[in-house]
Amino acid sequence: MELKESSKTLTNILGLAYQPMAVKFFENVVPLDGFELPSDRRYCQILMGAREGKKYMLTAENIACPAAAWALGFKEPPLTLSSGEMPAAMGIFASPAAVRNTLAMMPRLEMGKYKMVASCPLAEAPFEPDVVVIESDPEHLMWVALAKVFETGGRLDFSTAILQATCVDVTILPFLTQKMNATLGCYGCREATNLTEGECVLGFPIKDLETIVTSLQRLNEKAIPRVRGKTIYKALMSREEH
C-alpha cells in the first residue's frame, strides 16, 4: 500500500486533525529536496512541523535539545544533564539520583551511527520511513493499537519514563525493538510544541503500516462506528430520563 493512500486512510478513519508523520534515520548527512535544515530546533518540534505539513532535517549541528541529541547518538550529553542536575532543577524528578536512575535505563541509538534524522508528513515521504508517528486524541491512538493486534490478538506493552516522549518513546524504541509504543507525553514535548493536554503520541515501525491500515478498515466496518455512536450509553441515558 502506498504511503499517500495509507496516510489518507489513517486520517479519514480516525478523524485526525493532523497528518501521520514519517521519520527516517540517515547514516550520512544528505540533501533532501524540499526539506529544511532549521537552526536550533528540537526533535519534538520537527515532529510538530511534520504533522502540520512541513519537512525538516536535524543533525548534530542544528539540534537544540541535548537530551534528544544524546538519544539520537548525535552528541555526548553535557554534565548538567548526565549528572541529573538539570532535570532535577527543572522540577521533573525529585533528585539528581532519580534522574540518573531514569537515564540509565533510557534506550538510545549508537553514538555516531546516524548523522541525520528527517521527518515529514507520511503522505509526502520521498523515502521509506523507519517509523510512523501519530500525535492525536487517545481514542484515535486506541484504534491504531487495536489494529496492531486485530488479526493475532494478544496484549501490547508500552514503555515510557514520561521523559523524552517523542524522541525515545515513539521513535527510537519502535525503531530499535520493531514494536509499537505509545506515550502520555513529557515535560519537554508539552512545553516546546503545540501538543495539547488532550493529545498523546504513538509510534510504530514501518513494517506494521500495511497491517494496521488494513485492520483499521475492518474495524471501521462495525466496531468504530458503534463505539462512536455510543449506543449503550444512549440507551442508559434514555432509561434514566424515563
CA dist 121 and 201 (Å) reads 15
Predicted confidence (pLDDT) per residue in 32-61, tens digit:
999 999 999 999 999 999 999 999 999 999
Task: List 56's β-bridge partners, or say none.
Answer: 36, 119
Q: Is the pTM above the cut of 0.85?
A: yes
Amino acid 11: pLDDT: 98
- 99 domain residue, yes or no: no
Kindly give the parts of the chain with pLDDT less than 70.
Answer: 1
- 88 domain residue, yes or no: no
Q: At what angle do helices 3-14 and 138-149 cross, to 10 degrees?
A: 120
Predicted confidence (pLDDT) per residue in 132-142, tens digit:
999 999 999 99
- 117 domain residue, yes or no: yes
- 81 domain residue, yes or no: no
- Domain span holding position 8: 3-75+109-241
- 153 domain residue, yes or no: yes
